[in-house]
Structure formats: structure tokens, C-alpha cells
Structure 1
Amino acid sequence: MLNALIFDVDGTLADTESVHLAAFNHAFAQEGLGWHWDVPLYTQLLDVSGGKERLLHYWRMVQPGLKEVDGGAVRDTVARLHEIKTACYEQAISAGAVALRPGVLTLMQAALNQGLQLAIATTTSPVNIAALLRTAIGPDWRSHFLAIGDASNAPLKKPHPQVYLKVLADMRLDPAQCVAFEDSANGLQSATAAGLATVITPSSYTAQHDFGTALRVLPDLSQLDLGQLRQWLVEREATRATLGARRPAAKPQGGTKR
């Protein structure tokens, strides 16, 4: 039985990556670093989940011998850059820089109307979630979601399944009762490792990723309804049952009787 929908944020709820990219470059310029990320480079860097992790990964790319020194100068610089970037991103989102992707709000409302729960599982920070959903849904956006997993309470980033495992535990639901929505290979790996069937809606930054284990890959959610989703889950379970039945039984382990 389908009881909950779990959504990633960046790239899934909204095509936010271009705004994130502009915010990173704003931070670099403000701090006078001389760094600039173009779209091809940022697309590559998105393989690293988490803004701070992405910054540190890039810094090590351009400075392979980078080492932390006493006092944590590298860590502090990364934190400052991320703070500047986040403030710029929040300002842009609040000004209406992006909207939710097609079909997202309709699917969420249909789920709530039918008594399903909603949740969020993301590697982004709480302030980024709030900025997007406060603008898209309204000041009461938090009341729509039974559980929220984010960078503050699930520090192990995707493709690690921690954030999905936390959300499932918070909702007290089995993964077979839920469907995840993602846009990237890291997100798909994370959700799949937690046992979740996953619908993928790629963004322009993730269209080249491998989504072979997804439940479905769709251009967006505008044509998806809950009836289809339930049918896909039934078909998935039937396929898994068939494959399980075809597996040869394990041979008993031999041993010498004593």
C-alpha cells in the first residue's frame, strides 16, 4: 500500500541549480578568490553532494597539496564561502528566481487529499529548503510534511542512504509503503539503498546520469497521477516476486555428523 511520497529538493522540486551556481560565483567574487564555475564544471562538481563538500573538493582540485592548518583556516574559509553563497541564494529564491517544477504541487495536493504523507530527503541546508518552499507553498509550508531530512540532521551525504533511512524512521513507515522522487544518480543510489522505489525527473544538469534502477524516468511530474504510481508499484513487486521465485534454492551446508 502506498502511504507516503518522499521528495528530494534541488533539481527535483525545483530546477534550482543555476541559482546555486550564480550564488557560488557571487561568493567567490566577494571574497576575491579568482574562482569561477561555469556550467560544464558545475555539472561535474554536482557529483559531490553538499555545498561545503563541493567547495572543498574543488579547492583540492585546484590546489592538490591543500592541507588544514592549526586553527582550521581551510574549514573556516569554506564555512564563510558557504554562508555568503547561502544568503545570496535565499535572496534570489525569495525574489522569485525559480518556481516548482511542473506537476509537483498538483501531485503533493492529490497525495494529501487521499491521506498520504509527504516528506523531504535532501542534502541541502534547512535555510535553503525554507526559502524555496516558503515562496512556493506559503508560510505554513512545514505543516505539509510529516518528516524532513536535511544536512542538519543527516550529515552523511547522498549516495549514502542516511537521509532516507532517517525519514523512514521518523515516519515509522516501511520503504515498500513509500516512493522517492529524485533527479540525480547520487539521489537514486541513496533512495535505492534505503529500499525505496524511485521516480526520476532529470534536470539539465543530470540528464546524462545512469538511472537504470529507477522505477520510472519522467521529464517532469505533470502527467503523473497516484493511480499510475500505485500500478507501477504493483508491477515492481510482481517482477521482484517472479525473480525471487526463479532463484535456485540455497544448497544445505554439508557437514560431518558426530
Structure 2
Amino acid sequence: MAELKALLFDVDGTLADTERDGHRPAFNMAFEAAGLDWNWDEALYGELLAVTGGKERIKYYLEKFNTDFEKPENFDEFVKGLHASKTEFYNQLMAEGRIPLRPGVERLINEARDKNMRMAVVTTTTPSNVTALLTNTLGADSESWFEVIAAGDIVPAKKPAPDIYDWAMEQMDLKPEECIAFEDSENGIKSSVAAKVKTIITINGYTQNDDFSTADLVLDNMGEPGQSFKVLMGDSHGHDYLDLELVKKIHQA
């Protein structure tokens, strides 16, 4: 059995509830600033999460939910501009401290650092969103803790394609069996499993009904000492919160 050498973290929904509390309101702020009467409530946004990538999500919304909207001639630039505005509002929300990390995330990342475990971010969100989340929750230098930031349009095919995981592992000169992934969604685990990486899932309100049958462990969150996680699938080996010891046990199982 290969030694565990790296932790590969998804961002949105995994590190923080950024979809519900960050991206969704930021999209709505961008729509209002652009003079659009669009509003993505929590239920609608849950449906839009079927598609990964912010620009792709706007296009999906217009194709499936707002078909009467008359697209401008420079449609791609229009979408790109809306998404750029949304990113600015998202960064603003982050700077205001409106989006905390999920339980156990900071503790696990700090433990991994202390024990010299290599780490990477593997996400479809834009690099600036990653920077905003990390610097506003973990500190100004925290982005440097991650050997690779695989984000945004760095590969053409986004999750559920495995390309972003393949790219990150190639940059780190690692094999899939030397890594473990942390995800929260069906598209995420489809991506990691297609890249042949064992995966731990922490569900959230948007993903609680997703299919995680291919996961190695499914939890409601990473837990904290005195604040136990709930095991939804898999073996927690007697642990009640996710630490590096348990991660290694899941990797070796």
C-alpha cells in the first residue's frame, strides 16, 4: 500500500459553506448592479449547482430557467463581465468575515502543516476566490501552505471531469494512490474518483441527497474535539472527529 503523501482539498462547500453564504448572494449583488431583475434563491441555486463553474452556471440559468431573456450579441463577454462583478462582490463578503470555515477544517489543515503533510487546492472556483477564502480565514500567508492551487479555467474540462485532479497531481509529481481528496458534492466525487483518488466527503445542505456510494467515508462535517461528526457511510475507526490519523486509516483501508 502506497504511503499517503498529500491532501487534496476542494473549496466551495468543503472548506466553507461558500455556495449558500458567498457565491449565491454575490451573484445576486452582481445582477442588481447590472440592472438585472434576476434573483437566485436558495432552492434555485441548489438546482444551478448541477453545473460547475460560475460562467457556466449563468449560461445554464438562461438555458433552463430564464429562457425569455434576450441575449446580447456579445453574450460571452456579457457573461464574463457579470462573473467578474460577482467575484468582486464575493471578495467583499469574504473581507467582511461573512463566511467562516466549516467545523474541523482549520484544525485539520494546521495539523497537516505541523506534520509536514503536502497539501493542494483542487477546485473549479476562480483563483481569486480561493485567495479570498484562505487569506480571510487562515491568514495572509496561508495560500503558501498549499503546494499547488489548481483552480478555475486552468483545465478546460471542469468537474465532474477528472482533469483538475490529474493536473494537480502532475504538478506535484504524485500518483493517485499517494493522495486523498476532500469533497462535498456529487460532481466533486465523480471528478476525484475518475482520477482514481480515495475520497472523504463532508456533505452540506445542498449536497446531502447526492450519490456518494463511491466515497471512502461520508460525514456531516469534519468534527471537533467535543463536537463529534456524524458518520453517514463508512468506518470512522472509533474516531469522533477527522484528524490526520483517521485520514491515514481511510487511505490505507
Q: TM-score range by the shorter chain?
A: 0.7 to 0.9
Give the equivalent residue in structure 1 for 2:246: 228
Give the equivalent residue in structure 1 for 2:226: none
CA distance in 1, matches of 2:37, 2:50: 23
| Conserved? CA contact 1:60–1:66, under 8 Å | no
- 2:6 is aligned with what amino acid? A
Give the equivalent residue in structure 2 for 1:9: 11
- 1:234 is aligned with what amino acid? Q
With the length of structure 1 as denominator, give the TM-score of the two structures. Answer: 0.86
Q: What 5-or-longer segments of structure 1 have no aligned partner?
A: 236-258
Give the equivalent residue in structure 1 for 2:97: 96
Give the equivalent residue in structure 1 for 2:230: none
Give the equivalent residue in structure 2 for 1:26: 29
What secondary structure sits across from 1:208 in the alignment? coil
CA distance in 1, matches of 2:217, 2:70: 42
- 1:4 is aligned with what amino acid? A
| Conserved? CA contact 1:28–1:81, under 8 Å | yes
Residue of 23, 47, 67 corresponding to 2:50 = 47
Give the equivalent residue in structure 2 for 1:217: 218
CA distance in 1, matches of 2:42, 2:50: 13
> Equivalent pairs: percent with the same residue?
43
| Conserved? CA contact 1:188–1:214, under 8 Å | yes
- 1:75 is aligned with what amino acid? D
Give the equivalent residue in structure 2 for 1:109: 110
The 1:66/1:158 distance shift into structure 2, 3 A limit, reads farther
Q: CA deviation at 1:79?
A: 1.0
What secondary structure sits across from 2:98 in the alignment? coil
Give the equivalent residue in structure 2 for 1:63: 67
| Conserved? CA contact 2:120–2:146, under 8 Å | yes
For the pair shown, the structure with the greater C-alpha radius of gyration is 1
Give the equivalent residue in structure 1 for 2:84: 83
- 2:147 is aligned with what amino acid? L
| Conserved? CA contact 1:126–1:152, under 8 Å | no
- 1:10 is aligned with what amino acid? D
What secondary structure sits across from 1:100 in the alignment? coil
CA distance in 1, matches of 2:6, 2:75: 41
CA distance in 2, matches of 1:27, 1:113: 40
CA distance in 2, matches of 1:34, 1:100: 31
- Residue correspondence of structure 1 range 101-140 to structure 2 within 5 A: 101-140=102-141
| Conserved? CA contact 1:215–1:232, under 8 Å | yes
RMSD: 1.5
| Conserved? CA contact 2:127–2:149, under 8 Å | no
CA distance in 1, matches of 2:117, 2:160: 26
| Conserved? CA contact 1:200–1:217, under 8 Å | yes
Q: CA deviation at 1:68?
A: 7.5
What secondary structure sits across from 2:28 in the alignment? helix
Spell out, residue by residue over 1:198-246, the C-alpha distance to the aligned partner (whole angstroms, 9 max, x if none).
Answer: 00001111111111100100111121122222222222xxxxxxxxxxx
CA distance in 2, matches of 1:95, 1:67: 34
With the length of structure 2 as denominator, give the TM-score of the two structures. Answer: 0.88
What secondary structure sits across from 2:152 in the alignment? coil
| Conserved? CA contact 1:68–1:74, under 8 Å | yes
Tell which deviates more after alignment, 31-40 or 93-102.
31-40
| Conserved? CA contact 2:148–2:172, under 8 Å | yes
Q: What 5-or-longer segments of structure 2 have no aligned partner?
A: 224-240
